[in-house]
Structure 1
Amino acid sequence: MRDEFTSKTREILFKRAGARCANPNCRKPTFAAHKDINKFISIGVAAHITAAEIGGPRYDPSMTSKERKSADNGIWLCQDHAKLIDSDELKYTVDIIKEWRTLSEKAALFDLEQISASTDKDITEDKKIIRFFSQCFDRPAFQDEFMQEGSIEAFDKAIEDTIIAINVGCLRDRNGDILFQSYGKSYLSNHEWRAKMDSIVDILRAIRSRYQLAIKLGQLHIGSEYEGKQFYNFYDHELAKWFDETRGQAIYLFSTICVEAGISKLVFPRKRKSKYN
């Protein structure tokens, strides 16, 4: 017998997440108006962190029925990511899912603080956030051409970490340790800057999706790692060019914000010094 959430628990979960998907790499809205004034559209799911019944993903036999039904065992996700976490329980562990929930709830609180503080906040606060984003882009994934990447898997992880940092204001290193912490893009009071950051996140998501598709289609072969360098073969040089041009678009768009904020703009790709310089 499944230990289902009550309607009250589902309400708690979606409200704590700000009615958005709690995957910090997503954070898409999950509710919208229906054409019928008495209805609404929902793509949100109250997902169990540990399964609601025996045999389900991450099932924990030590938990009581009451614990499985509690809000502490739940997370609010869009339908895509609710399905995703149950498709690979080895990758999407209890700890990872709970970290998603923590980051999402913090971001939702920042959104709420923005509403109450927007009349008092000035451009100085926005500039601090943009400086934080600039630190997020300060990594080889946004500096080197694709054919010069030292670790191709680190490239994908860096893109993912940057998306999360822009969305929720928390940048972590490869070990999961927090490097910098600020506010996510929704906290920006400058609507034009916020819209541009939305576009940048969309671009970065497209890069990750195309990278994963390239592996699936055999356009990119990832080899072993040796002394910190990872060997890989790229069979489609036009696709490598697309990765460079697309990252360049993201950097250019962000640099237009930097110029307006009085912050040094970014350049892609960076110029490598030769031994003759």
Structure 2
Amino acid sequence: MTARVPIAQLVQRIHFEDFGGAEFERLVFAYHVRAGWHYVEWYGQTGSDQGRDIVGECADEAGNFKRAVIQCVNRGSLTQAKAEKDIDKALSFDPSIASFKFVTRGTVSAARRNAVKAFADKCGVNHLTIWSGADFEENLRLVGEDLLRRFCLGEAFPDDAEKLRSFADDFPTLGDEESLAQMAAVFDRPAFRTPFFQECSLHAFQQAVEDTIAALNTGLWRTREGEAIRRIPSVHHLRNPTAKKQVMRAIQLVDELRRTFVSGLRHGTIKPCGCGNANCPIFMIEPSIGERLDRIRSDALQAFRAALPGFPVALE
């Protein structure tokens, strides 16, 4: 009898509380370098942060880069006193700061978010972002899965900020058009061409979607068996902010595709036949979920096409 191969696997949350403040700051710094922030400086490393663990420039919705402070809160909760003290201290050294971001390891209630935002507004901070541990983990899995894996496996990150920056600097001489052309190859597979009602393997579909997310985010393109095919540029190598924004949107939609598929398996709207063969072409699916999966795929391909005109992959 063929052994049953699990199609979906729940991912356990990361226990950031198991790591020290310096390690947490390294991960936050590495993430924002990987996410494409400009001029990222790690003040916490110097021991004299002046209320600013990390400072960098992040792109707004129009693609313009604005100076922002990132404060790492490696505590069980973000208190109002802590938030107000950090904002006050940072503004006392640099009154021009218009954006502030807290990255915490714990949960942050809606009431706390609203209270901190009210204080930030009063201080003239135009844009405030607060990430709970769950928010940070979700964004890490989308943009820096390899960073998260390295962090959790106990492999020490470099102490030097320049070495951390090298994570996103593998193709310094490649232009955007060539980078996008290489990235486009990861979509040229049945998982993005075949309507879901004609899919022949649920396991292969999920694996292809996960591999695509990883390749676009990290540049490591693997076969279904996990063998590395080759390195390609990732979204973080793109210099044009509009193109980068479109590719990030495509990645978010592919991740939505993955989450929708896993949710269908979990709630029974997608069901394998039960024979135990992971590659069995027979499965049951509710029409609405199949239509939704196809719609998300089409939207993802269209988002990538906006960055690379002439991109040929389309749902058949």
TM-score normalised by the chain length of structure 1? 0.60
Residues 152-202 of structure 1: per-residue CA shift (max 9 Å, x gap): 121112111111111111111121111131221011012111010011011
Seen in structure 2, the aligned counterparts of structure 1 residues 132 and 20 have a Cα distance that, compared at 3 Å, is closer
Report the counterpart of residue 79 of structure 1 in structure 2: 133
Offset from partner CA, 1:82-128 (integer Å, 9 cap, x none): 989xxxxxxxxxxx9349878x99995253678xx6xxx5xx62122
Tell me if 1:111 matches 2:168.
yes
2:244/2:307 contact within 8 Å kept: no
Counterpart of 1:251 (choices 301, 309, 313) is 301
Shift of 1:245: 1.6
Q: Is the 8 A contact 1:193 1:257 kept in 2?
A: yes
1:109 to 1:140, Cα distance in 2 relative to 1, 3 A: same
Q: In structure 2, do the counterparts of structure 1 residues 217 and 13 end up closer, same or farther at CA, with 3 Å as the change threshold?
A: closer
CA 1:127–1:200: 2 relative to 1, 3 Å: same
State the distance in 2 between where 1:264 and 1:16 align. 31
Taking a change above 3 Å as real, the CA distance of residues 131 and 113 of structure 1, as seen in their structure-2 partners, is: closer
**In the alignment, does 2:270 pair up with 1:220?**
yes
What letter matches 1:233 in structure 2? M
Corresponding position: 1:147 with 2:197: yes
The match for 1:125 among 175, 178, 181 is 175
Q: Is 1:166–2:216 an aligned residue pair? A: yes
Q: What is the distance in 1 between the residues matched to 2:210 and 2:164?
A: 17
CA displacement at 1:218 relative to structure 2: 1.3
Superposed, 1:25-40 pairs within 5 Å as: 32=70, 36-38=87-89
User: What is the aligned partner in structure 2 of residue 266 from structure 1?
Assistant: 313
Paired position in structure 2 for 1:202? 252
Q: Which residue of 2 aligns with 1:231?
A: 282
Report the 3-state secondary structure (helix = DSSP H, G, I; strand = E; otherwise coil) of the residue aligned with 2:282. Answer: strand
1:242 is displaced (CA, Å) by 1.3
Find the counterpart in structure 1 of residue 149 from structure 2.
97
Change in Cα spacing, 1:226 to 1:126, as seen in structure 2 (3 Å) is: same
Structure 2 residue 43 is matched with structure 1 residue 43: no
Q: CA deviation at 1:249?
A: 1.3
Structure 1 vs Structure 2: percent identity of aligned residues?
19
User: How has the CA–CA distance of structure 1 residues 243 and 206 changed in structure 2, closer, same or farther, with 3 Å as cutoff?
Assistant: same
One-letter code aligned to 1:237? P
CA distance in 2, matches of 1:229, 1:187: 39
Between the aligned partners of 2:306 and 2:204, the Cα distance in structure 1 is 27
**Cα contact 2:220–2:228 (8 A) shared by 1:** yes
Deviations 1:243-270 (A, max 9, x none): 11211111122223332xxx5522212x
1:222–1:231 contact (8 Å) kept in structure 2? yes
CA distance in 1: counterparts of 2:315 and 2:152, whole angstroms = 31
SS class of match (2:313): coil
Match of 1:242 in 2: 292
Matched length: 206
RMSD: 3.9
Contact (CA 8 Å) 1:110, 1:183: kept in 2 or not?
Answer: no
User: What TM-score do the two structures reach when normalised by structure 2?
Assistant: 0.54
Letter in structure 2 aligned against 1:231: I
Shift, 1:43, TM fit: 3.1
